[in-house]
Amino acid sequence: ALLPYVPRVPPTALPGKVTATTFALEMPCCVFDGHADASDAVWLVVAFANASDAFRNPPSRDDVPLYQRLPTAHSYMTLETAAAAYACPAPSTAVLRVGGDTACGGQGGRDPCNGPLPSPGPYRVKFLVMGCHGPKAETRWSDPILLRRAASPSTIDPAPARRDSAAVVVASILASLGAALAAAVLGAVGAEVWESLCRRDPGNGPFAHRSYRTHHIPLALPQPLPPGCRCSPPGLGCFAPRPPGPCPAK
């Protein structure tokens, strides 16, 4: 049976939707209901766009074209999945990644695998339902899918780009003007600071020629003077008067 479904790359934004070796496909949910049994398998056929018309469905699983034959046969089959994985009732938002198995080919080349695509393509894909007795249903071919081209390392110039003489002259002039402007700004700021310091003359301040004292500890309360004690000048303490000496003999 030829089903009207057409495989396609998701139209929404998706990280890595199309790369140099892989691309994503929408899940074909509810597409094979009524055409596939629980024991059937759904395959993805990948072919170069100009070879899709020449592809012939294999009569059995033993005749499935393998990934390693893509350079010569120009087509292969991959993503063998139980048909029940695509059944209704609920549509799925998941995607199928084509070419995502970087270890493909390590099994000796006898098992189907989903290896990276070797060139930008373009490619066309379709889904094929296969039962115990061969193909049962298939979708239409997709529109051509073109991968991104990877940059070749040989095209990268390791040397920095050379600037012409005019660009060098302009850059030198701008650098000189910047240095001159910075020097002028620093000179003006320095002169202003020096003038401010010179105006601060200790001899002309508000406290010049004035006597003032500060106290680093609280002042003691005044104490009564002992009898016969006289006070010395302020700040020198109190001393008891000396007793008068004997009168000189006459």
What DSSP assignment string belongs to 27-72? --TTSSTTT--TT-EEEEEEEEGGGSTT----SSGGGPPPGGGHHH
Rounded mean pLDDT, 55-61 = 93
Residue 40 pLDDT more than 80?
Answer: yes
pLDDT at 158: 45
Close Cβ partners of 26 (under 8 Å, ≥ 6 residues apart) = 7, 8, 9, 10, 95, 96
Contact 57, 34 (CB under 8 A): no
Pairwise CA distance, residues 121 & 68, whole Å: 16
Q: Other CB atoms closer than 10 Å to residue 82's CB: what's the count?
A: 13
- CATH number for the domain running over 2-149: 2.60.40
Pairwise CA distance, residues 109 & 129, whole Å: 23
* Cα–Cα distance list, 81 to 42, 77, 107, 209, 232 (Å): 5, 12, 19, 104, 115
Pairwise CA distance, residues 123 & 46, whole Å: 7
pLDDT at 211: 45
pLDDT at 94: 85
Residue from 130, 150, 123, 139 nearest 24 by CA: 123
pLDDT at 157: 44
Confidence class of residue 231 from pLDDT cuts 50, 70 and 90?
Answer: very low
19-36, pLDDT tens digit by residue? Answer: 999 999 999 989 998 888
Rounded mean pLDDT, 67-77 = 91
Find the radius of gyration of the CA atoms of the chain. 49
Pairwise CA distance, residues 90 & 112, whole Å: 29
Residue 168 pLDDT more than 90?
Answer: no
Task: Report the predicted TM-score, pTM, of the whole model to 2 decimal places.
Answer: 0.59
pLDDT at 191: 56
Please calculate the CA angle 70-39-31 and round it to the nearest 5 degrees.
70
More confident residue, 3 or 231: 3
Give CA 94 to chain center in angstroms: 25
Q: Where are the domains of the chain?
A: 2-149
Residue from 18, 110, 115 nearest 71 by CA: 115
pLDDT at 177: 61
Burial of 100 (0-12, 13-18, 19+ CB in 10 A): middle
More confident residue, 244 or 95: 95
Confidence class of residue 196 from pLDDT cuts 50, 70 and 90?
Answer: low
Over the chain, what is the mean pLDDT? 74
**Residue 96 parent element (H or E):** strand 95-98
Dihedrals phi, psi of 128, to nearest 5 degrees: -130, 125
Of 88-92, 99-103, 165-169, least confident by mean pLDDT is 165-169
Pairwise CA distance, residues 122 & 146, whole Å: 4
Pairwise CA distance, residues 85 & 174, whole Å: 67
Pairwise CA distance, residues 107 & 68, whole Å: 11
Residue 12 pLDDT more than 80?
Answer: yes
Confidence class of residue 202 from pLDDT cuts 50, 70 and 90?
Answer: very low
